[in-house]
Amino acid sequence: MLQKMQIEIWSDIMCPFCYIGKKQFDAALEQFDFRDEVNITWKSFELIPNLQTNTDITIQEFLIQHKGMSPEHTQLFVERIVTTASEVGLKFDFNAIVVANTIKCHQLLHFAHQKGFQDELKERLLKAYFIEGINVDNIPHLIQLGSEVGLDIDELRDVLDSSSFLTEIKQDISEAKNLGINGIPYFVFDRKYGASGAQGANKFSEILQQSHNEWKQSLAPQKLTVIDGENCDINGHCD
């Protein structure tokens, strides 16, 4: 079996820079000659663990009411993110975003990881949240989104109707704390390099190349440093 370098990414669905950073990283990975030697795992991180889903307010109102941001600051913040997103081909619609808890998304992402569809589901959930204005705390919506990437509808329903993967989510969050991660997105390359935030495709390419080079070197047989002394060789000659 082909050995692969591990890349772990901590993120949340409601984080705009997680979507922007994913697009930048995807662009870097697409151009990376050894992308088949890379394995990516999306890790859970909750920006607002106790957030109550509220379909009656806009995300701008949420930022003003719950984050203490002024209307002017909020508008500038939204405009900056929309502009940055457009640079990687994303058309964010902040007027459509539904303020929603994301714990169910994380449950599905862990399930999708088991089935080999995690990256596809991550992309679909981010698009649903930031572009399509879909409530990602709504079970029927999530079942539909999961089925679109190839996951079984009955299995999706079973996961969402239970406490499946909550332990794994807590483990991800605990692991992030142990690694000193307090902001997302956060990319960890081969447990040697950490990259915080949306770095840009060029920077991700540099980190990919360097971490892969070092990972590849670690797989090569290590040559011994020999210190000569008196010995007998395989022909029976002794010095």
CATH code, domain carrying 137 = 3.40.30.10
- Position 226 in a domain: no
Give the Cα separation of 46 and 12 in Å (integer): 6
Amino acid at the residue 119: D
* pTM metric for this prediction: 0.90
Task: Supply the range of the domain harboring residue 185.
Answer: 5-219
The DSSP letter of residue 160 is: H
Give the Cα separation of 139 and 188 in Å (integer): 31
- Position 236 in a domain: no
The DSSP letter of residue 237 is: -
- For the chain, the domain total comes to 1
Q: Can you give the pLDDT of all 239 residues of the chain as single tens digits?
A: 578 999 999 999 999 999 999 999 999 999 999 999 999 999 999 999 999 999 999 999 999 988 888 999 999 999 999 999 999 999 999 999 999 999 999 999 999 999 999 999 999 999 999 999 999 999 999 999 999 999 999 999 999 999 999 999 999 999 999 999 999 999 999 999 999 999 999 999 999 999 999 999 888 766 666 666 666 666 666 66
- Position 238 in a domain: no
Rounded to 5 degrees, what are φ and ψ at 215? -65, -40
Scored b (16 or more CB within 10 A) or e, 199-231 reads bbbeebbebbeebbeebeeeeeeeeeeeeeeee
